[in-house]
Structure 1
Amino acid sequence: MANIKSAKKRILVNRTKAARNKAIKSAVKTSMKKVEAAVANKDKAAAEVALKDAVSTISKATSKGVYHKNNCARKVARLAKAVNSID
């Protein structure tokens, strides 16, 4: 454990931020899984609704600095491509 006051504070702040980032990443993964499940069931209507929610969640994560913008764009593009591949 650190002895310096500022180092102790950094440890506490880093724990808080790590927990926040973990929660946001988990929400993104869950929303992506919902889209992938709808695509697997070939349910275009449900997939489009889930895609809209997933894009929103991913964009919020990017704006909060959890993901890089290119990572966000890649995730959204892959999900959109999967949804558009449904007949």
Structure 2
Amino acid sequence: MANNASAEKRILINKRNRLQNRFYKSSVRTLTKMFLKDLEVYKISRDPNDKEKAQNRLSLVYSLIDKGSKRNVFHKNTAARKKSKLALQLKMA
């Protein structure tokens, strides 16, 4: 339990930041799974439209990773590693 006003404020700030971090991390995981699913569809069908759909999904993931990195949810090297890994998977498809 907080004993003074500054401790109460820190509790509120930590709660706010925790929710923000959770949003970015879970959204990145969800979009990554959707991207990988789109990539599997493309590997089977070899339809250019499916590849374009996967690329659009990848750009959404990139955007969210960059925003999370900007807000210190992800370390810059972690963000770069995640983006590199996804780009490599698209390249290999």
- Fold match, TM over 0.5? yes
TM-score, structure 2 normalization: 0.85
Which residue of the partner structure matches residue 59 of structure 1? 66
1:41, distance to aligned residue in structure 2 (A): 1.5
SS in 1 for 2:3: coil
| Residue 31 of structure 2 corresponds to residue 24 of structure 1 | no
**1:8-52: per-residue Cα shift (whole Å, max 9, x none)?**
111111111111111111111122112111112223222111111
Matched residues, percent identical?
A: 37
1:71, distance to aligned residue in structure 2 (A): 0.4
1:77, distance to aligned residue in structure 2 (A): 0.6
| Residue 65 of structure 2 corresponds to residue 72 of structure 1 | no
Counterpart code for 2:68: A
Runs of 4+ in 1 over 6 A off after TM superposition: none
TM-score, structure 1 normalization: 0.90
Q: For residues 8 and 54 of structure 1, what CA distance do their matches in structure 2 show?
A: 35
Deviates more, 1:20-29 or 1:75-84: 20-29
Stretches of structure 2 that go unaligned for 5 or more consecutive residues are 43-49
Task: Please show how residues 10-49 of structure 1 align to structure 2 within 5 Å.
Answer: 10-42=10-42, 43-49=50-56
Q: For residues 52 and 70 of structure 1, what CA distance do their matches in structure 2 show?
A: 18
